[in-house]
Structure 1
């Protein structure tokens, strides 16, 4: 049993409250009064530093044909150093797609041997097994995967492309179970090459037939699509993520060579961020072994940003641009955990939640050399990271891998999450 004293804990307002936090693997008690326990093994005085929940990324893309174990270890270690404590792997290039229950066990073992952080899995739909594909998907869902990745066209030779009409039929087949889907791709029947407009066209076609299914869009970097999604969110159970690297380019000029079209005539993007109208932020991280000829629809961001991406959001959005800290936490932790059906185990600091903590010192500065060579000064520093009650990052060094496999526990539907983006 451990006890944090003199903790600055963010509240839903701009204020902080000074509390003490008693925890082991989970949080036992949070109180502004003194906490006593006969089982205490360690008392840690935070001296007013800010305690944040570990960051949650709803979709990583780090399992590939090559070096699956090495990629898991290397990339999750980088993420943990930056305060990311939970990933949900939505693999574009998985050599062993998650079609059946035994596939979950295979990747569960690999994750628990190699990952530095806790990980959940998105599953896949094998349309080639028609008419049994929907039944197989339901078996996976019942076992606790967080959702299904619908790739159109599929960049993976092991996952058959599922057409837009087949996706729409899938919605009809299993809509009653609240199954979460993630769509990534574009309308390649009308446009041979990916473009933001072809992605926009595919999304709009899908939404014509969507039932009550929750659907997530992992990567939006086109302001007209973002504007459209915000106009319909009350009528559909849809969520989307903005890529942190794209925001770095838009706000800070850190250019990784990616294409973005986030400019809007009235500069509303910042207002959406400020007013909690962006559901989540993601690293959209990919393994370095992804083939170079892959369509832009399935390109991700380098893992070199991971030790700084969470800190950048705190520095740029909260400290510099005055986006409320509670809103930043929602975009980087709370809403992702809710969408994955992992809340309140993950994504918050509350009694009963996993003791996943980031100790953040707002008084220090951190120098960040971006992959484009630019030197950036970030306000604040991440001093320590805890995963399920164990200190796993201290003085910029990570402990040995101790990640755990996560099963979905709750419904991912937005209407059940009364404090999230609705």
Structure 2
């Protein structure tokens, strides 16, 4: 049992609340008053440091070659943990071993249990060649606790057969009665020769014309008109999207960061910032993946370098909260709470509330952090993470040797709708 005293907890206003928190693997009690403890309880004096939830990234793209899977998982999840990201979802575009069956889930579980530094949830795939049993197989995956089914068009991976928009429509109809969540990435390759913002928008429109009540998520949107379109229809259709943190860095801190992904945010920067400020950007993702040789579909499925995991969460706090005065509660929603809701793991993750897992970070706003950007620039960010906790145990932090306490994470509930207003803040 551990007791944190004198911690600063965010509220829905700009003010902080000075609290004490009792926890073991889960948070037991939070109070502004003294909390009675048993003999032997470890006391941790936060000395006013800010207590924030560990970051939740809904989709990294780690897995590729089977031969390097263990090293790739360990390296990337360790970098994520040290950057304050305590939970991730693995959505594999290029894996040699797709997740088609419950047996595949078990294999990935062993992989994550033995090598991940973060809690790691899993997106599954659809084997359309298994017709007419593919829909039943998808439901079996959902019952095994995956956080959703990843659909891609055109297929970037020869291990996952091409699925047409008509077949996607049929799949939606086949599993209409469940709350199974989907992710879709791609473009309308039936009517466009290559990826473009318009081609992606046309694909999203096709998906929306076919979807039923199932939640659907677009893992990366890099065009402002597409953001506006999705926000316009999101109350009629349960659709959400993510913006890559690197894309934000490239437009809000252009002197230090670049993105190699097509992105038009600079053309509408004031309008984009207004959406950020007013809590209309649902969530952020690192979109991390390993470098790959170029393919015909590389642009739409291209990820970001793993190195940015070390400072992306801090960058959000430094640039958006401290520098541009975006409410801290909004930053928390974009980096943890909303992703946890969408993955069906809230309030177990992405929350600082009794009953939630004790996954959190201590943030010191008075000691700045220093990094070297991918372009070789020295970057100073306001604040630093002094300690990272997973299930009640410190696993990373200042002058602390990083520990591996990650494991496979199953979905604990159904995904929350995008406009779900429940919050711990």
User: Taking structure 2 as the reference length, what is the TM-score of the superposition?
Assistant: 0.96
Quick check: 2:396–2:403 contact (8 Å CA) kept in 1?
no
Q: Which residue of 1 aligns with 2:110?
A: 109
Asked if the contact 1:223–1:263 (Cα under 8 Å) also holds between the matched residues in 2, the reply is no
**More displaced, 410-419 or 277-286?**
410-419
Q: For the residues of structure 2 that align with 1:100 and 1:274, how far apart are their CA atoms?
A: 42
Counterpart contact for 2:283–2:335, Cα < 8 Å: yes
Q: Residue 145 of structure 2 corresponds to which residue in structure 1?
A: 144
Match of 1:347 in 2: 350
C-alpha RMSD over aligned residues: 1.3
Q: Which residue of 2 aligns with 1:15?
A: 15
Evaluate the alpha carbon distance shift between residue 317 and residue 147 of structure 1 in structure 2; reply closer, same or farther with a 3 A threshold: same
Q: CA 1:202/1:398 → structure 2, altered by over 3 Å: closer, same or farther?
A: farther
Q: CA deviation at 1:23?
A: 0.5
What is the CA–CA distance in structure 2 between the aligned matches of 1:136 and 1:340, rounded to whole Å? 20
In the TM superposition, what are the counterparts of 1:46-57 in structure 2 within 5 Å?
46-57=46-57
State how 1:2-401 maps to structure 2 within 5 Å.
2-38=2-38, 40-65=40-65, 66-253=67-254, 254-265=257-268, 267-288=270-291, 290-293=292-295, 294-395=297-398, 397-401=400-404
Distance 1:404 1:110 in 2: 9
**Distance of 1:394 and 1:322 partners within structure 2:** 26
Tell whether the 8 Å contact from 1:3 to 1:40 is kept in structure 2 after alignment: no
C-alpha displacement of 1:259: 2.0
* CA deviation map 1:197-256 (0-9, x unaligned): 111110111111211111000000001101101111110100000000000001001114
Number of residue pairs matched by the alignment? 419
Work out the CA distance in 1 between the residues paired with 2:215 and 2:379.
38
Q: 1:277 to 1:225 in 2, by over 3 A?
A: same
> Cα gap change, 1:297/1:266 in structure 2, threshold over 3 Å: closer, same or farther?
closer
Change (3 A) 1:9 1:302: same
- Distance change >3 Å, CA 58–CA 396, structure 1 → 2: farther
Is contact 1:146-1:340 (8 Å) kept? yes
Counterpart CA distance in 2 for 1:90 and 1:266 is 29
SS at match of 1:263: helix
1:402 deviates by 1.6
Using a 3 Å threshold, how does the CA distance of structure 1 residues 192 and 387 change in structure 2: closer, same or farther? same
CA distance in 2: counterparts of 1:72 and 1:22, whole angstroms? 32
Query: Partners in 1 of 2:216 and 2:418 — Cα distance?
Result: 13
Whole-angstrom CA distance in 2 between matches of 1:19 and 1:339: 28
Aligned-partner Cα distance in 2 for 1:9–1:354: 16
Deviations 1:41-74 (A, max 9, x none): 3111010000000000000100111510000000
Alpha carbons 1:342, 1:410 under 8 Å: kept: yes
Where 2:363 maps in the other structure, the secondary structure is strand
Q: CA separation in 1, counterparts of 2:239 and 2:326?
A: 23
TM-score, scaled to structure 1: 0.97
